[in-house]
Structure 1
């Protein structure tokens, strides 16, 4: 089966950079993936497109060296099964608030006896290889999103779930749930939560990723020792670079 390079980088203790495809277009997804990211996540939670639109985006990402990931819209066995069948090599699942949420998520990502995933990988075999079934359970990456105070409080229990590879921190929703603005990543309470989650993962040998809305935040998370960071969505980076160039040209 095709190697999951994110697992390789994790084993080598090397930071992975994850692109974020929030615009439902296969060419743009391919363009983002070709920029040098180690992985690209197709965002079905906040991206304004459907599972059907995600398939050609996964195909486009697969034409590059980037690992194709998906953030599912919800903790649904049906949707997660469909995305894995379509060739996603990892799932980021939003709003994991309890150990039970994490168990449900992990079960959807694994074939029996480790889970309840239904067999029918379709495009997954084309991307992963003919021995997909034999190796999928230990190749697919499972990351539970911690983005609420409830999830933060239950983080140790969530990380104790067998076959959960780690967590992905949602900083904006976590800040909002703490009564702060979405971009309050620099607030002491939010920063302490980041450090707590990162240390928990490091102590347990678990994967930890985070979305970063600015280079300054990304630099700090890099210093904290995260395994994967997202330096912004495709839409954010397109807007930022367009604005920068126009400002220069307009003087």
Structure 2
């Protein structure tokens, strides 16, 4: 079975640099994948990508060694299983708020007897290899998003669920939950304290900690703090920033 490079990086103590895909297009996904990201996450929760758009994006990422991940819309068994059947090597699940939520996430993404995932890895066999059924449980990575006050209250209970590989912080939703500005990087002190607490507890439980970032400077600081999965920007944001850079150069501000 094809190895999951995220697991290899984490086992060696390294961090993974993750890109974020919001454009429903195979060619843009392929272009992003060829830039050398450790992983790329297709976002089905927010934005304009649906399952039919996701499939050719996964195929496009497969032209490289970049690990294909998907953020599912919600904690729901059907979409989790179909996403894995399509060849995703990891799932990021939003709004995991309780131990029961985390247990369901783990159960629905493991084959029996460790879980209740239904068998039908149609495209996953093509991506991963004929021995996928024997190794999928130990190869797929499972992220629970920690982004609410309720999740903070239940943090240790969530982190103690066997089979949960990683947590992923959504700084904007976490900020809103704590009554602060919804931003990625320059978060309010109250949110920063929560982020530091989540990271410390994840380390204590041996769970990988990941976080969403708006820019590379913030991501580098969080990597230095101990985060091992760092998303930086997105395809749409990078395209807009590149276009703005060209236009700024071509249309300099008038002299005073």
| Counterpart Cα distance in 2 of 1:153 and 1:240 | 38
Alignment correspondent of 1:29: 29
Query: 4+ residue stretches of structure 1 with deviation over 4 A?
Result: none
| Counterpart Cα distance in 2 of 1:216 and 1:176 | 23
Aligned Cα root-mean-square deviation (Å): 1.0
Alignment correspondent of 2:117: 117
Alignment correspondent of 2:142: 142
Q: CA deviation at 1:112?
A: 0.6
Q: Deviations over 1:60-103 (max 9, x none)?
A: 01111100000000111111110000000000000001111111
Q: In the alignment, does 2:239 pair up with 1:238?
A: yes
Q: In the alignment, does 2:212 pair up with 1:211?
A: yes
Q: CA deviation at 1:191?
A: 0.9
Alignment correspondent of 1:73: 73
Alignment correspondent of 1:163: 163
Q: CA deviation at 1:180?
A: 1.4
Unpaired segments ≥5 residues, structure 2: none
Name the larger-Rg structure: 2
Alignment correspondent of 2:153: 153
Within-5 A mapping of 1:78-97: 78-97=78-97
| Counterpart Cα distance in 2 of 1:147 and 1:31 | 30
Q: In the alignment, does 2:249 pair up with 1:248?
A: yes
| Counterpart Cα distance in 2 of 1:194 and 1:137 | 29
Aligned length: 251
Of stretches 117-126 and 147-156 in structure 1, the one that deviates more from structure 2 is: 147-156
Q: CA deviation at 1:47?
A: 2.7
Unpaired segments ≥5 residues, structure 1: none
| Counterpart Cα distance in 1 of 2:191 and 2:37 | 27
Q: Deviations over 1:202-238 (max 9, x none)?
A: 1222111111012332122112110110111111111
Contact 2:181 2:187 in 1 (8 A): no
TM-score by length of 2: 0.95
Structure 1 SS opposite 2:151: helix
TM-score by length of 1: 0.97
| Counterpart Cα distance in 1 of 2:177 and 2:158 | 19
| Counterpart Cα distance in 1 of 2:78 and 2:92 | 15
| Counterpart Cα distance in 2 of 1:203 and 1:248 | 48
Contact 2:180 2:191 in 1 (8 A): no
